Amino acid sequence: MSKIKVGIIGTGYIGDSHIEAIGRIGRLELAAIADVNYELAKKKADAFGVEKVYKNIDELINDEDIQSIHDCTPTNLHLEVNEKIIKAGKHVFSEKPLGKTSAESAKMIELLKNHPGVVAGVNFCYRMNGLIQDAKHRVRSGEIGKLYLIHGLYLQDWLLYETDYNWRIEPEYTGVSRCVGDIGSHWMDLAQVISGSKITEVCANTVIALPIRKKPAGQVETFSVNKNQDYREVKVATEDYAGVLLKFDNGASGVFQCSEISAGRKCFIDIEVDGSKASFQWNQQTSDQMWKGNRDSNNEQVMRNPNLAAGDSRKYSHLAAGHPEGWNDAFKNNLDAFYGYILDGKKMGKDPCDFATFEDAHYLMLLTEAIIKSGKERRWVRVNE
Ligand SMILES: NC(=O)c1ccc[n+]([C@@H]2O[C@H](COP(=O)([O-])OP(=O)(O)OC[C@H]3O[C@@H](n4cnc5c(N)ncnc54)[C@H](O)[C@@H]3O)[C@@H](O)[C@H]2O)c1
């Protein structure tokens, strides 16, 4: 079988993870990478043995060898880059959030309607953790009964100090929301995937805890500590924190908080679903384990175990129980699902898939905007109101 030739645009923080995950899938060949920072792309190409390196993204998109392209550029470029990829008739695997606004993500969905042969996915990677897929099947089979509550957290600390800076702070790059769009969207994706239900209404408190930040003169890499002494003070317009009440279309209620200013929390995603018979709780920092809460018997610690995986989640659980799988494995599962779909000749809109579609990502954009609107207007807001 010939391999699918893949290209990556944007070789910054998340670009590295795409390079590594592609390398783990035998049916793929990473044939080219491109970054406006050519030196960076060249360094990565040399390190990972990638043959072609481009400075200009059009050269990569128009390279006839390339069949599928990953868009790992900052969020403000997703519309422009994804549009070019779709119009070139190539498969697109985009980073999230899908755009700066829901108007942008809606435009991408319209474009896809004219290119039905293009398979389009978005990297909501946490949903592809083996135990999340396991929990999804267990919830759907009725193991925890009727769903009452879905609640949790996504906490980080990488923007705690006023000297912490990244392009994500600025609406020009990140869009209308920072914390909710960047990390809250991952939590909401998990909540919707596990529950099999959509969030339809939100009531939010959004907070800019650091209204002034010190913007460094030079670029600061994502998640790195700013050592730059040369800065200017800038006003911040995007939220550091959100606390959000939720209503789901299956009648369940929920609440989550997301923060980028919680000292000591790095990638603390915690989610719990409480049903009429039992509860499940999962935390990404111990992502190979899940807690099952019972009312009339002892609680259980569930260890990911391919031999016991529910439904067809077995395909996303690889190592024997006791050898922990984590973020990189969920990431690889996501690409496996995306490229398996392409290789099986499946069609978007007709065949279901486990990876997030552009429609899923667009809905998360609508939710993000509803949360920001709710925070501003201090009231419940329906999605797409
Ligand atoms: N799925 C996840 O869990 C996850 C995690 C981190 C980041 N992301 C998303 O990935 C995207 C990139 O984030 P990041 O943290 O890697 O940012 P980054 O700043 O580390 O990397 C972005 C790269 O894009 C390059 N670039 C900028 N303009 C370009 C252009 N015109 N042409 C080609 N390359 C260009 C930059 O030089 C840089 O190397 C964002 O949308 C972010 O939200 C997703």
Calpha distance 311→295 (Å, rounded): 25
**Mean pLDDT across the stretch 331-358?**
97
Same domain, 169 and 116: no
Same domain, 152 and 205: yes
Q: Which atom of ligand 1 is nearest to the CA of 15?
A: 16
- Residue 169 lies inside a defined structural domain of this protein: yes
Question: How far from chain centre, in Å, is Cα 296?
Answer: 37
Regarding whether 257 and 279 lie in a shared domain, the answer is yes
CB contact at 8 A, 10 and 73: yes
Spell out a b/e string for 161-173, using b for 16 or more CB atoms within 10 Å of the CB, else e: eebbbbebbbeeb
Q: What pLDDT is recorded for position 50? A: 97
pLDDT tens digit string along 223-237? 677 676 788 999 999
Q: Are residues 186 and 302 in the same domain?
A: yes
Instruction: Indicate if 38 and 71 belong to the same structural domain.
Output: yes
CA of 219 to the centre of ligand 1 (A): 13
Give distance in angstroms: CA of 246 to centre of ligand 1.
30
- Give the 3-state secondary structure of residue 259: strand
Per-residue pLDDT band for 217 (boundaries 50, 70, 90) equals: confident
Residue 385: per-residue pLDDT: 82
83 Cβ neighbours under 8 A, 6+ residues apart: 107, 108, 111
The kind and range of the H/E element at 31 are strand 28-34
Residue 336 has pLDDT above 70, yes or no: yes
pLDDT of residue 2: 86
**How far away, in angstroms, is 4 Cα from ligand 1 center?**
23
Same-domain pairing of 133 and 112: no
Classify residue 136: in a domain, yes or no. Answer: yes
Whether pLDDT at 34 is above 70:
yes
Judge whether 63 and 50 are in contact, CB under 8 Å. Answer: no
Residue 228's pLDDT is what? 66
Domain count, the chain: 2
The token duo for 249 is: 């279309």
- Asked if 161 and 115 sit in the same domain, the reply is no
> Crossing angle of helices 38-48/13-23, nearest 10°?
30
Give residue-wise pLDDT tens across range 96-132.
999 999 999 999 999 999 999 999 999 999 999 999 9
For a substitution probing ligand 1, which of 73, 127, 167, 177 has the most ligand atoms within 8 Å of its CB?
Answer: 73
Instruction: Tell whether 302 and 199 lie within a shared domain.
Output: yes
Is residue 341 in a domain?
no
Residue range 81-104: mean pLDDT, rounded: 98
233 and 91 within one domain: no
Q: What is the position in ligand 1's atom list of the atom closest to the CA of 34?
A: 33
User: Is 40 inside a domain boundary?
Assistant: yes
Q: Which of 56, 50, 48, 19 is nearest to 32 (CA)?
A: 50
Strands (E), 190-295: 199-207, 212-216, 231-235, 241-248, 253-259, 268-275, 278-283, 289-294
Query: Which CATH number covers residue 262?
Result: 3.30.360.10
Question: Alpha helix locations (H) across 24-129?
Answer: 38-48, 57-61, 78-87, 102-113
Mean pLDDT (whole number) for 128-141: 98
Give the burial class of 218: count Cβ atoms within 10 A of its Cβ; 0-12 exposed, 13-18 middle, 19 or more buried.
exposed
Digit-coded pLDDT (tens) for 194-215: 999 999 999 999 999 999 999 9
Domain span at 302: 127-321+360-382
Last residue of a domain, one of 104, 125, 146: 125
Distance 224 CA to ligand 1 centre (A): 14
Q: Note whether 67 and 156 are same-domain residues.
A: no
Structural domain contains residue 345: no
- Classify each residue of 304-333 as buried b or exposed e, where b means 16 or more C-beta atoms within 10 Å of its C-beta: bbbeebbeebbbbbeeeeeeebeeebbbbb
Out of 94, 125, 156, a domain closes at 125
**What residues does ligand 1 touch, defined as CB less than 6 Å away?**
9-15, 34-37, 40, 57, 72-75, 77, 95-96, 123, 125, 182, 221-222
User: Contact at 8 Å (CB) between 55 and 36?
Assistant: yes
Q: How far is CA 237 from the centre of its chain?
A: 23
327 domain-assigned: no
Nearest CA to ligand 1 atom 25: 10
- Final residue belonging to a domain, choices 125, 145, 165: 125
* Token pair recorded at residue 229: 């002494």
Ligand 1 atom 40: the closest Cα is on which residue? 74
pLDDT tens track for 258-311: 999 999 999 999 999 999 999 999 999 999 999 999 999 999 999 999 999 999
Look up residue 316 and give its two tokens. Answer: 């996303």
- Count of CB atoms within 10 A of residue 380's CB? 14
Nearest CA to ligand 1 atom 6: 14
Q: Is the pLDDT of residue 82 over 70?
A: yes
Q: In the predicted model, is pLDDT for residue 13 greater than 90?
A: yes
Using the predicted structure, report yes or no on whether residue 330 has a pLDDT greater than 80: yes
Residue 173 sits in the same domain as residue 194? yes
Do 17 and 38 fall within a single domain? Answer: yes
Q: How far apart are CA 371 and CA 383, in angstroms?
A: 9
Average pLDDT, the chain: 96
| 198 within domain boundaries | yes
Residue 135 three-state SS: helix
Nearest CA to ligand 1 atom 21: 12
- Give the CA angle between residues 59, 95, 283 to the nearest 5°: 155
pLDDT value, residue 225: 72
Give the domain CATH number at 19.
3.40.50.720
- pLDDT, residue 80, reads 98
Asked if residue 338 is part of any domain, the answer here is no
Inter-residue contact 192 to 249 (CB < 8 Å): no
Interatomic CA distance for residues 247 and 50, integer angstroms: 47
**pLDDT of 296:** 97
pLDDT over 80 (residue 40): yes
- Residue of 8, 14, 223 to test ligand 1 pocket, by largest number of atoms within 8 Å of CB: 14
Report how far residue 65's alpha carbon sits from residue 4's, in angstroms, rounded to the nearest whole number: 9
CA dihedral of 42, 334, 283, 135, whole degrees rounded to 10: 180
